[in-house]
């Protein structure tokens, strides 16, 4: 009987000591899992923001191309790129190659035509400016104010591309900064909250900054790292 009581007493003492230790270990593991879960969520948000930034940049670059080259030229260049890609695929198909070479020749002819139109327009504007400037310098212009206004208008036509490009650049920069600021602030809050929760479970952690590319900008973002690991 005494032996049985001794065994029961020993078991009670062991359980009394071990239970807090097991509980602490369980809390610590939960803290680790919480950090891992938050890091996965942060990675997902970073991935989504990077994708959005890349799409913004692609749209911006396309807009700039359209401003600089014109919609028709951009469209024709897109068709040319596709035809060249198809030509690479059709290496063993002579008939298809001939068709694509013919298509490429037609596209190149259209590109030359559009470029000639643009060059002609620019030349015409410059010639008109030179003509009016000559009238002003020689004193042949009867109405100086009207001639100056005409020159300003012609110069605005030449500068129109630059103004449009600048506007697109400002808009792209603003939208990109909004994406970056949003993901930076959101992930920082997530990290800080999880670090506090993990600390209550006995896990010491800190922000572990990593460099992430958003379009043409690099930014430090903050997943969590367990201290000592």
CA-based nearest residue to 53, from 147, 183, 193: 183
pLDDT of residue 115: 77
Question: Can you read off the two tokens belonging to residue 60?
Answer: 């911006």
**pLDDT of the chain along its 229 residues, tens only?**
544 444 444 444 444 444 454 445 677 888 888 889 999 999 999 999 999 998 988 888 777 777 777 777 778 888 888 888 888 888 788 888 888 888 889 988 888 888 787 777 767 766 776 676 666 565 554 555 665 666 666 666 656 677 777 888 888 888 999 999 999 999 999 999 998 888 888 888 888 888 898 888 888 887 877 775 5
Which residues have C-beta within 8 Å of that of residue 14, sequence separation ≥ 6?
Answer: none
Domain residue spans of the chain: 40-226
- CA-CA distances (angstroms) from residue 1 to 4, 10, 202? 5, 14, 43
How confident is the model at residue 129, as a pLDDT? 61
160/44 Cα distance (integer angstroms): 41
Compute, in degrees rounded to 10, the torsion defined by CA atoms 54, 176, 71, 150.
-160
Report which DSSP code applies to 214: E
Q: What is the CA radius of gyration of the chain?
A: 35
């Amino acid at each position: 009987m005494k032996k049985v009581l001794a065994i029961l007493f020993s078991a009670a003492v062991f359980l009394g000591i071990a239970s807090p230790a097991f509980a602490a270990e369980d809390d610590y593991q939960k803290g680790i899992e919480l950090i891992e879960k938050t890091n996965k969520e942060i990675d997902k948000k970073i991935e989504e923001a990077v994708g959005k930034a890349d799409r913004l940049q692609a749209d911006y670059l396309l807009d700039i191309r359209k401003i600089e080259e014109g919609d028709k030229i951009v469209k024709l260049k897109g068709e040319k790129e596709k035809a060249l890609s198809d030509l690479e695929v059709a290496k063993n198909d002579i008939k298809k190659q001939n068709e694509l070479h013919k298509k490429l020749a037609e596209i190149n002819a259209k590109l030359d035509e559009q470029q000639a139109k643009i060059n002609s327009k620019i030349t015409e504007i410059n010639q008109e400016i030179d003509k009016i400037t000559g009238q002003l310098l020689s004193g042949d212009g009867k109405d100086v104010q009207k001639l100056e206004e005409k020159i300003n208008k012609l110069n605005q036509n030449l500068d129109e591309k630059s103004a449009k490009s600048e506007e697109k650049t400002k808009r792209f920069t603003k939208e990109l900064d909004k994406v970056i600021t949003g993901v930076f602030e959101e992930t920082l809050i997530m990290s800080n909250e999880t670090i506090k929760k993990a600390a209550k479970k006995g896990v010491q952690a800190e922000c572990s900054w990593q460099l992430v590319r958003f379009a043409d900008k690099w930014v430090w973002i903050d997943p969590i790292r367990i201290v000592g690991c």
